[in-house]
Chains A and B, each alone.
Chain A
Amino acid sequence: MDLDALTGCLASSACLVTQTTSGFIIGMLLFLVAVGLTLIFGVLKVVNFSHGAFYMFGAYFAMTAYQFTGSFALAMLSGAAGTALLGLIFERVFMSRVYGSDVLMQLLVCYAFVLIFDDVVRMIWGPEFKSMGMPAAFQVAPLFIAGGVVPPYYLLLIGVALVAAVVLGLGLGRTRIGKVIRAAAHNPGMVSALGINTGLIYGGVFALGGMLAGLAGALAAPVRSLTPGMGFSVLIESFIVTVIGGMGSILGALIGAILIGMIRSFGSLGFPLFTEGLMYLFMVIVLVSRPTGLFGKEVA
């Protein structure tokens, strides 16, 4: 425990800026993965344990596109679009067959695909770790804001995630498609009776969830080592975020992700040997005081 470092940081604007930005960076990547997870659970009532694989595929797709085209924008697009397509196929061919099944069955199917997807990546890209490298446009000196250090690439990352949060929030809350999706989540039978293709909605939501995780992977690719199995640790942290925020809640995923990011960022200063533990402790505290998570709805 190093409370002096923590209090010293809280009293310094430079440190506050750096650590807060750091918290947002960690949190926003987690948000993109967690929001897909929570969306799929909210609408399809499936705990998609294979969700981390979409993050992994997003990173590999982006790296490959970047290697072939040298375009960062195309790399991001490939990561997002590729995983959206993969999510759609996965949902239509496999997941749609286990809707309504026991949760254990769903988890087993998803876990099987975690292993299968890891092996597929190993076969295509090899077992060794890869590095995409930072695009030249972002190989620039970091910005100094109030003495704090902020890399421009991370500002882009935070911005993309925040835009995704706003678009999702507005899309689901204000548009007709959003209303249909929410209706399908509450009463799929009624939606189906109205002549709306629920299979299309389910496939679409799964593809959207996969796309968000893939986008997170693509954004992470320039700064993280790419390796088969890289989605697993992200998945665990995303689950924590989802549980803290409340399963099915987009706002909950956003707030939960930012909180976890801040805990990791400031926790590394004050509790360097207990940063992981702090995250789990916080989850326990939230669940004990509010079992449905911060923004989760009571299940009747």
Chain B
Amino acid sequence: MTRTRKPGVSRRATLAMMGAGAVTFATPWVARAQAKTIKIGMPTILSGRVAQLGTSSRNGVMLEIEKVNAAGGLAGRQIEMVIRDSKGQPQEAARVARELVNTDGCEILIDAEASSGAFAVHEVARDLGVLCLHTNSETSALTADPKQHIPNAFRTARQGVHDSIVGGSYAAAIAKAKGLKKWATCSPDYAYGRDTTGEYVTYLKRFAPDVEIISESWPKLFQPDYTEVVTKILQAKPQALYSCLWGGDLTSYIDQANIYALFSQMEVFAVNMADYTALTVVKNLPKGIHSGNRYIKTYPATAENAAWGDAYKAKYNEYPTNWSWENATAIMLLAEASKKANSADGKKIAEALRGLKIKSPFGADGTVTMRAEDQTLVGYAIGWGTTIPQEPYVPQVQAGDWKTIFELEAEWKKSKGYT
């Protein structure tokens, strides 16, 4: 059968022209899509008593984003942050997070919430499947509990149980040396306060079995007046006190406890004290409070950490906070994971994040790792020391050992039924 060629443009030529036309017309769209900014949504606390920490979270993020954008962005896409105030309320945090994705078109979430809001945002991330990096919540269960686990959520913050292992062993050594057997606790009444205090006491007693908790106080989060709590502790006459109050709550508590001379009547261990937020705001900072490092530019004592702290101060005219480094780390990890995946796609970044180790000014050995098994940050610098009322505030820090942390954490997970 012979095929007769019809006059005019052949089908092949027509298809070729259509193809060429499509390429010609589509190219700008493709180019524009590649150049299109990637929006990252960030609910955080920008009002109320802990607004300073929310602001410092934003600053930590923006400091790093400038560097990432200057280097080309995430796989060639410039990052645009969309930051909203959650007022520290879980329902508002969840609403804002959902709106950031659904209305504002954010492709990634930085969940810069305290634990009170982080669990709510976590459920939004579970529902929408969007890549989410929890940057402030330190409640262990958020990533340790397999029931909470979702493949698209990671944590770049400290974890309560890590702090408690180091803090508990540090406190136990002092308890044994000074004979501190009667202890009181005073922590905020929500997930972080309850979990962290429980874990701290577990490790304190593990290393110093004679310790007895004779008084517990659970003031509500953002409580204005601690008088009744202070006098209750005084009545109990403990030899030592543990607290994981933080931010404005901690400074308010210190101001009120100071006038009862509480700090001279017992040894005080306040995990969240050694952060510039509290150190610089409290007017009459008591000497000799034991604290874990939160953010201080002198620990880890490296040039990289000091330079990062100074760069932050130069830009924002104040020192960073614990939440600043945790948020900065999220961006550092995102940038490295995007490079590794050669993509700005959330799923591909998530795959690249699992097990990713990066250089970091905040690392105990100059690096931090996003542990693959539970998608939480490990290897950051943890240490405890005592405060003095002026810089460097905590002159000598005893470093925690990550080998011990890993061993005891594995045991702890087993005891909780998490493995």
| A residues neighboring B (CB under 8 Å) | 5, 9, 15, 18-19, 21-22, 25-26, 29, 118, 122, 127-134, 138-139, 141-142, 149, 151, 153-154, 220, 222-225, 227-230, 233-234, 264-265, 267-269, 272-273, 275-276
Binary per-residue interface labels of chain B (37-52) against chain A in the complex, 1 for a CB within 8 Å, 0 otherwise:
0000000001111111
A222 touches B255 (CB 8 A): yes
Question: In whole angstroms, how far apart are the Cα atoms of A133 and B55 in the complex?
Answer: 23
B259 touches which one: A151, A233, A267 (CB < 8 A)? A151
B228 contacts which chain A residues (CB < 8 A)?
Answer: 22, 26, 264-265, 267-268, 275
- Our count of residue pairs bridging A and B at CB distance below 8 angstroms stands at 123
CB distance from B191 to the nearest CB of A (A): 16
CB distance from B53 to the nearest CB of A (A): 8
A138 contacts which chain B residues (CB < 8 A)?
Answer: 259
Q: Which of B207-243 contact A (CB under 8 A)?
A: 216-218, 220, 222-225, 227-232, 234-235
B234 contacts which chain A residues (CB < 8 A)?
Answer: 18, 149
CB distance from B139 to the nearest CB of A (A): 20
What are 19 A-to-B residue pairs whose CB atoms are below 8 Å? A18-B235, A22-B228, A25-B227, A29-B225, A118-B47, A127-B55, A128-B51, A128-B52, A129-B49, A129-B247, A130-B281, A139-B258, A149-B234, A223-B256, A224-B225, A224-B255, A228-B48, A229-B47, A230-B49
A133 touches B283 (CB 8 A): yes
A229 touches B255 (CB 8 A): no
B303 contacts which chain A residues (CB < 8 A)?
Answer: none
Q: Which are the 9 A-B pairs with shortest beta-carbon distances?
A: A133-B283, A128-B52, A129-B248, A127-B51, A225-B248, A151-B259, A268-B228, A225-B252, A227-B49
Question: In whole angstroms, how far apart are the Cα atoms of A234 and B55 in the complex?
Answer: 25
CB distance from B171 to the nearest CB of A (A): 23
Chain A CB within 8 A of B249 CB: yes
B256 contacts which chain A residues (CB < 8 A)?
Answer: 223-224
B48 contacts which chain A residues (CB < 8 A)?
Answer: 227-229
Chain A CB within 8 A of B35 CB: no
Chain A CB within 8 A of B251 CB: yes
Known: A131-B255, A142-B260. A227 touches B235 (CB 8 A): no
CB distance from A10 to the nearest CB of B (A): 12
A230 contacts which chain B residues (CB < 8 A)?
Answer: 49, 224
B284 contacts which chain A residues (CB < 8 A)?
Answer: 133-134, 139
Given contacts A130-B281, A267-B228, A272-B216, 20 further A-B contacts (CB under 8 A): A5-B235, A9-B235, A15-B235, A18-B234, A22-B231, A127-B46, A127-B52, A129-B50, A134-B258, A134-B284, A139-B258, A142-B259, A142-B261, A154-B227, A220-B224, A223-B255, A223-B256, A229-B49, A264-B228, A268-B228
Q: Which residue of B lies closest to A23 (CB)?
A: B228
A233 touches B224 (CB 8 A): yes
CB distance from B13 to the nearest CB of A (A): 66
Q: Which of B46-68 contact A (CB under 8 A)?
A: 46-52, 55
A19 contacts which chain B residues (CB < 8 A)?
Answer: 231, 235
